[in-house]
């Protein structure tokens, strides 16, 4: 990964993008992709669609959702303590004692999730979402209401950092890494005159309703779609690989297998991986993928899809961890896959 690309990734990671309010990040994604995209469009859902070779009738849609999980202000008591609900699958139990930013109307407001001292019994093991609260240092409800209101988003106040062995840790790697990857793939194929149309989409709302991918796919009407998301790395303590599979950080991108996935696309991905000596791993999605691929597949008259995922540890926590080597391998794989396409591929599993 060159310095320009790394700086773009870091800009994404330092920009709040709670599900339903991804606007600031999308502006940065537009600024980056406009340099090499032939066309850029937005829609009323908040998606950004950048395209190379828009005149081709064979269309490849790459979807990476840019939204992150968050909390949302739900109630403010008379003493100025803030209570929250969830936007996406965020875990309130690990929030206790964490610093947060409330994205208020006048700018971010610093707060902390209050936690009872161990001397007073500590936190309950079964604490409920409505029992946790944020302390912003306010002394009254009126003081808080000068800065924030019900419906404001709350994100963890933590930055990205680099670890041993080319690892990256941050909140919201799920899935701002996906939005980064699809942009980088588009940048690569833009230099090589692809035979097919390539649509990189920074999708919204995946963590809450997946509407972004559905609306974008209905607009593009792709020949095939690939969701670029994250998946569970299982190479750390307290994970049963017999139950959850064997996926390692640094082991390469992960291909999904199961009923939603088009096997012919997977065959092409595997050939591209073999040709470039890129290792791939596998996960099973027998019923649904739980990603944008599900909505893309069900759009229009039906779209053949694949899911290419980045291994990630500690999903939906403030300390998500990925390998930069895996990111580079996924970008290389998808670039090779697209440039290998002739535009004549038949993706019907059964023909007559």
Report the chain's terminal Cα–Cα distance, integer Å.
45
3-state secondary structure of 189: helix
Q: Is the dihedral of CA 86, 91, 97, 99 positive or negative?
A: negative
Catalogue the E-assigned strands of 53-203: 59-65, 70-76, 82-87, 99-104, 107-113, 133-135, 153-156, 161-163, 167-170, 197-203
H helix intervals, the chain = 3-13, 23-33, 141-145, 173-190, 211-220, 241-244, 263-275, 292-297, 324-340
**From the CB of residue 8, how many other CB atoms can be counted at a distance below 10 Å?**
21
Report the candidate in 79, 2, 21, 61 with the shortest Cα–Cα distance to residue 197: 61
Residues in a beta bridge with 188? none
What value, to the nearest 5°, has the Cα angle with vertex 98 and ends 93 and 102? 105
Q: Exactly one of 206, 320, 321, 330 is catalytic; name it.
A: 206
Coil, helix or strand for 91?
coil
Based on the residue annotation, tell me whether 206 is a catalytic residue of this protein.
Answer: yes
DSSP track, 232-279: E---STT--HHHH----TTS--EEEESTTS-HHHHHHHHHHHHHTT--
Q: Centre a 10 Å sphere on the Cβ of residue 238 and count the other Cβ atoms it contains.
A: 4
CB-CB contact of 258 with 289 (8 Å): yes
Q: Which residues are catalytic?
A: 206
């Amino acid at each position: 990964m060159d310095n320009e690309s790394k700086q773009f990734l870091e800009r994404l990671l330092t920009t709040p993008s709670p599900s339903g309010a991804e606007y600031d990040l999308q502006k940065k994604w537009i600024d980056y992709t406009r340099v090499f995209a032939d066309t850029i469009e937005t829609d009323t859902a908040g998606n950004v669609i950048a395209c190379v070779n828009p005149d081709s009738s064979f269309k490849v849609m790459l979807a990476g959702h840019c939204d992150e999980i968050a909390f949302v202000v739900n109630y403010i008591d008379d003493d100025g303590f803030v209570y929250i609900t969830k936007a996406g699958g965020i875990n309130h139990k690990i929030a206790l004692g964490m610093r947060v930013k409330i994205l208020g109307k006048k700018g971010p407001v610093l707060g902390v999730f209050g936690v009872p001292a161990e001397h007073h019994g500590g936190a309950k093991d079964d604490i409920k979402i409505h029992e946790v609260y944020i302390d912003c240092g306010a002394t009254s409800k009126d003081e808080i209401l000068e800065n924030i209101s019900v419906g404001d988003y709350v994100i963890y106040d933590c930055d990205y950092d680099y670890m041993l062995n080319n690892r990256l840790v941050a909140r919201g790697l799920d899935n701002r890494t996906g939005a980064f990857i699809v942009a980088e793939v588009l940048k690569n194929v833009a230099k090589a005159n692809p035979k097919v149309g390539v649509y990189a989409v920074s999708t919204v709302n995946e963590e809450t309703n997946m509407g972004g991918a559905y609306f974008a796919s209905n607009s593009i009407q792709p020949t095939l779609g690939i969701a670029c998301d994250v998946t569970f790395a299982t190479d750390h303590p307290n994970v049963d690989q017999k139950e959850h599979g064997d996926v390692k950080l640094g082991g390469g991108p992960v291909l999904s297998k199961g009923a939603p996935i088009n096997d012919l696309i997977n065959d092409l991905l595997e050939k591209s991986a073999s040709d470039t000596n890129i290792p791939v791993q596998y996960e099973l999605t027998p019923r649904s993928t739980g990603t944008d691929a599900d909505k893309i597949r069900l759009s229009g008259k039906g779209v053949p899809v694949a899911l290419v995922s980045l291994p990630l540890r500690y999903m939906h926590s403030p300390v998500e961890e990925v390998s930069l080597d895996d990111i580079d391998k996924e970008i290389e794989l998808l670039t090779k896959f697209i440039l290998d396409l002739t535009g004549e591929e038949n993706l019907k599993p059964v023909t007559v």
